[in-house]
Every structure is written in structure tokens, then in C-alpha cells.
């Protein structure tokens, strides 16, 4: 029973990381029509920046520096590298962003080495909470709460602000937004930086839990793609639902029969792609060939 509860919470924490990355992926796809295989790089850069700042200056500053650093990197990519790829077919986008992910991963490896690193939380946050039958590390609970808060803020931004309105309209019909005088180009760039910053912040925040090594970014990215596919490309709630589903599935399977825990999420992805390719909450676009 306790093990089950632990697994559920673990699945939630894991799922939230997936959601954070998937939300970024999915809104970037919605506005820019870009399949971003480099999104894991945002996570990794955020994590390492967070690591360095946390070790040198302080944990609090890490959470500020990480998303800013990643957002700047995203702006750089947007303006100088990816511009010409927004209109190209997804295969080219996948290839070039895969290349960028590789370059970033190797650069990080050169700078920081291949071993897993971590920073520890301030003592105040190192305890555990009693939650019903179990005790659970305080930081993880805080992390979960923090990510949920962040997602709520993102949701509020998209649903309640004027900017978010332009973004949502643009996801549906870029041309009409322009015909109404809206600057969809600018909105898309901001969304790109925002999606990246989210991944970077979560990267920094998750490092005390999972540690960071150069391959972690990609390791989290691939299951996040599963989440996006399962939830539906372009759907915010799809990413949330998909993330929870995949996180819990992975965690619970790990409890029941550990060897299958990774296989099962890819099985899930395969099933969705075969029977409901638009995802659970996605739009039924034409993705079949005649």
C-alpha cells in the first residue's frame, strides 16, 4: 500500500516534468508549426545554469538565472538558425533540431563532463513530510507544487491575457490574425522563448531530484514527445493529461514489473499513433495519406 502511494507520487513528479516539457513543445508547434527535437537542450541548459548558480551564489538565484539564460538561447536560435525552417516540412525540422540538440549536448559534456551532478537544497527544505501512510521528501512536494503553479501561470497567460488571445487565435488561423493586424510573428517568438524558459526552469528545479548529466535533456525529451503524441499535438490540456498518464504509467509499471516500465510508454505511443493519431485531445487533422 505504501509502495503504491510512493509510486503514485513519484509518477506525479515525473509526470509534471514531462508536462512542463510537453507544454512547451506543443504550444511551439501550435504557433510556429515547428517540431522541436532540441527542446531537451533547453532543459539541460537550464539545469546546468541552475547548478552553477546554485553552487556559486544561491539556490534562489538559480531559479531566476536558468529560465533567463535559456530564453536568451532560444531567442538566438529563433533569429539566427531556425528562421528558414519554420515553413519547411517537419522532417527537415526534425533533422536540424536534432543536430542542434547534439551540438548542445556535446558542448555541455565538454564543459561539465559526463558524470551526473547535483546540488543540494538548503537545509530548510531537506526534510520529509508525513502524508498519510508514508513520508515523502519535502523538496519533491515543493517541486510538484511549484511546477503546478508555473503551469497555472502559463495557462492564465494563454487563456486570460491579450497576448495569449493572439497566440490562441494564431494556433487556429495565422492568416486571419494577420488580416486583423495582429503581429503573429512576434507572438510566436515570445511563445518560443516562453516554452524554452519553462523547460529551463524545470531543468534547474528538478536537478536536486534527478541530477543532471549531458544526456538527461534528451532522456527527458523523448518521453515528452510520447506525451505530446498521446495528448495531441497542439493541445495544452492534452499535454497535461498525457503527462500525467505517461508519468503514472511509467511509475506504476515500475512498481508492478520493473523491466517493462520503459517499454510500456512506447507501446502506448505506438497504440495512439495507430488508432488515434491525433492524440486523446488533439484535432483530427489530415495525417493519413490517401
Which residues are at the interface with another protein (CB under 8 A)? Answer: 35, 81, 84, 89-92, 94-96, 98-100, 102-103, 105-107, 109-110, 162, 165-166, 168-169, 171-173, 175-184, 218, 222, 225-226, 229, 259-260, 262-263, 266-267, 269-270, 273-274, 277, 287-290
Q: Residue 137: helix, strand or coil by DSSP?
A: strand
- Shorter beta-carbon distance to another protein: residue 55 or 262: 262
Min separation Cβ 214 and another protein, Å: 10
Between 59 and 228, whose beta carbon lies closer to another protein?
228
Question: Least CB distance from residue 34 to another protein, whole Å?
Answer: 11
Q: How far is the CB of 127 from another protein (least distance, A)?
A: 35
> Rounded to whole angstroms, how far apart are CA atoms 122 and 163?
37
Rounded to a whole number of angstroms, the minimum distance from the CB of residue 192 to another protein is 18
Scanning the structure block, which residue is given the C-alpha cell 494563454? Answer: 158
**Residue 201 or 239 with smaller CB distance to another protein:** 239
Residues 223 and 238: their CA atoms lie apart, in Å, by 14
Q: Could you tell me the smallest distance in angstroms from the CB atom of residue 44 to another protein?
A: 14
Q: Which is nearer to another protein, 24 or 67 (CB)?
A: 24
Q: Which CB sits closer to another protein, 81 or 125?
A: 81
Which positions ≥6 away from 259 have C-beta within 8 Å?
Answer: none
Q: How many CB atoms lie within 10 A of CB 141?
A: 17
* C-alpha atoms less than 13 angstroms from C-alpha of 118 in its C-beta half-sphere: 10
Cell numbers for 19: 508536462
Q: Whose Cβ is closer to another protein: residue 64's or residue 261's?
A: 261
CB atoms within 10 A of CB 167: 24
> Cα angle vertex 138, ends 224, 228, to 5°?
10
Distance CA 16, CA 145 (A): 10
3-state secondary structure of 67: helix
Closest contact distance (angstroms) between CB of 50 and another protein is 22
Amino acid at each position: 500500500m505504501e509502495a503504491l502511494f510512493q509510486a503514485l507520487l513519484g509518477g506525479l513528479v515525473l509526470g509534471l516534468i514531462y508536462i512542463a516539457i510537453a507544454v512547451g513543445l506543443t504550444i511551439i508547434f501550435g504557433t510556429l508549426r515547428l517540431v522541436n527535437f532540441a527542446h531537451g537542450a533547453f532543459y539541460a541548459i537550464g539545469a546546468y545554469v541552475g547548478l552553477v548558480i546554485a553552487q556559486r551564489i544561491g539556490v534562489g538565484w538559480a531559479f531566476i538565472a536558468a529560465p533567463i539564460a535559456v530564453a536568451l538561447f532560444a531567442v538566438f536560435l529563433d533569429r539566427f538558425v531556425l528562421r528558414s525552417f519554420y515553413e519547411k516540412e517537419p522532417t527537415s525540422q526534425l533533422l536540424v533540431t536534432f543536430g542542434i540538440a547534439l551540438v548542445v549536448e556535446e558542448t555541455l559534456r565538454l564543459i561539465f563532463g559526463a558524470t551526473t551532478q547535483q546540488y543540494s537544497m538548503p537545509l530548510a527544505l531537506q526534510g520529509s513530510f508525513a502524508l498519510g501512510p508514508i513520508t515523502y521528501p519535502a523538496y519533491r512536494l515543493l517541486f510538484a507544487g511549484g511546477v503546478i503553479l508555473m503551469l497555472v501561470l502559463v495557462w492564465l497567460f494563454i487563456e486570460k491575457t491579450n497576448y495569449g488571445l493572439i497566440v490562441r487565435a494564431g494556433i487556429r488561423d495565422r492568416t486571419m490574425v494577420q488580416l486583423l493586424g495582429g503581429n503573429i510573428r512576434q507572438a510566436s517568438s515570445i511563445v518560443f522563448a516562453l516554452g524554452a524558459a519553462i523547460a529551463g526552469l524545470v531543468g534547474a528545479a528538478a536537478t536536486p531530484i534527478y541530477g543532471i548529466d549531458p544526456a538527461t535533456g534528451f532522456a527527458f525529451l523523448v518521453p515528452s514527445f510520447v506525451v505530446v503524441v498521446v495528448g495531441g499535438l497542439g493541445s495544452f490540456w492534452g499535454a497535461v493529461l498525457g503527462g500525467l498518464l505517461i508519468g503514472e504509467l511509467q511509475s506504476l509499471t515500475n512498481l508492478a514489473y520493473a523491466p517493462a516500465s520503459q517499454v510500456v510508454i512506447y507501446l502506448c505511443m505506438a497504440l495512439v499513433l495507430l488508432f488515434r493519431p491525433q492524440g486523446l485531445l488533439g484535432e483530427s487533422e489530415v495525417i493519413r495519406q490517401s
